């Protein structure tokens, strides 16, 4: 297993601390007047989601995490378990509702996603940045209500509720940004 020296530290680096994978979300280089340079790092645990703040001296090193990102296809949900398949090897992976987190709101069967594997075990998944979802239910917009930025909750095909403009109707298809959960636009079908 390789190592990263402090000179290699940067945002987005995947490292291993005490046998667990971490993502370096922030790295600040500090050079005090005397002594060694310091590297103040913010690390996010890829399994538990906790955040760790650590300071390293120049010359320190961290192990590289055996983390791999792979393209997978969402197959189905079975209770609290979400099942995905690697399209190249046809291996199936199961993630718990806790691991999928709020991303369940955007999952449609057959959808391509990114999955992070640690030691060949799935730990997290990321849906595409934008998804098109069918509106299954919403209250009708009030006639003459043309004020800007008027929103209403709409229920989409995945069971999630998303705030959309008042002009959105049942059976419309809307595009949603999965990073923020915000409505982007109505999709012409």
Residue 185 confidence (pLDDT): 92
Domain residue ranges in the chain? 3-64, 67-126, 130-187
Cβ neighbours around 115 below 10 Å, total: 21
**Rounded mean pLDDT for each run of 10 residues along the chain, 189 residues in total:** 85 87 88 84 86 90 88 93 92 89 90 90 89 91 66 91 90 92 88
Buried-state track 151-170, b at ≥16 Cβ within 10 A, e below 16: ebebebebebebebbbebee
- Residue 159 to residues 9, 70, 122, 148: CA-CA distances in angstroms? 41, 27, 24, 27
The pLDDT, as a whole number, for residue 12 is 81
Q: Which fold has domain 67-126?
A: OB fold (Dihydrolipoamide Acetyltransferase, E2P) (2.40.50)
DSSP conformation class of 106? G
Same fold, 3-64 and 67-126: no
pLDDT at 31: 85
Give exposure, 131-148, as e/b (b: 16+ Cβ within 10 Å): bbbebeebeeeeeeeeee
Q: Which CATH architecture has domain 3-64?
A: Roll (2.30)
> Parallel, antiparallel, or unpaired: how do β-strands 14-17 and 20-30 relate?
antiparallel
Identify the pLDDT of residue 146. 59
Among 156, 94, 160, 91, which Cα is nearest to 125's?
A: 94
Assess if CATH 2.40.50.140 describes domain 130-187.
Answer: yes
């Amino acid at each position: 297993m390789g190592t990263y020296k402090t000179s290699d530290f940067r945002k987005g680096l995947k490292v291993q601390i005490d046998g667990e994978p971490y993502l370096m979300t922030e790295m600040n280089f500090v050079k005090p007047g005397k002594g060694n340079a310091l590297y103040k790092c913010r690390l996010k645990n890829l399994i538990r989601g906790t955040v760790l703040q650590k300071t390293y001296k120049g010359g320190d090193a961290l192990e590289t995490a055996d983390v791999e990102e792979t393209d997978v296809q969402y197959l189905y949900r079975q209770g609290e378990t979400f099942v995905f398949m690697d399209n190249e090897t046809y291996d199936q992976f199961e993630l718990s509702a806790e691991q999928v987190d709020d991303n369940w709101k955007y999952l449609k069967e057959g959808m391509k996603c990114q999955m992070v594997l640690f030691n060949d075990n799935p730990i997290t998944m990321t849906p595409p940045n934008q998804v098109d979802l069918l509106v299954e239910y919403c209250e009708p917009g009030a006639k003459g209500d043309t004020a800007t930025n008027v929103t209403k909750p709409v229920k989409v095909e995945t069971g999630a509720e998303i705030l959309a403009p008042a002009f959105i109707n049942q059976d419309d298809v809307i595009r949603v940004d999965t990073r923020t959960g915000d409505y982007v636009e109505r999709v012409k079908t």
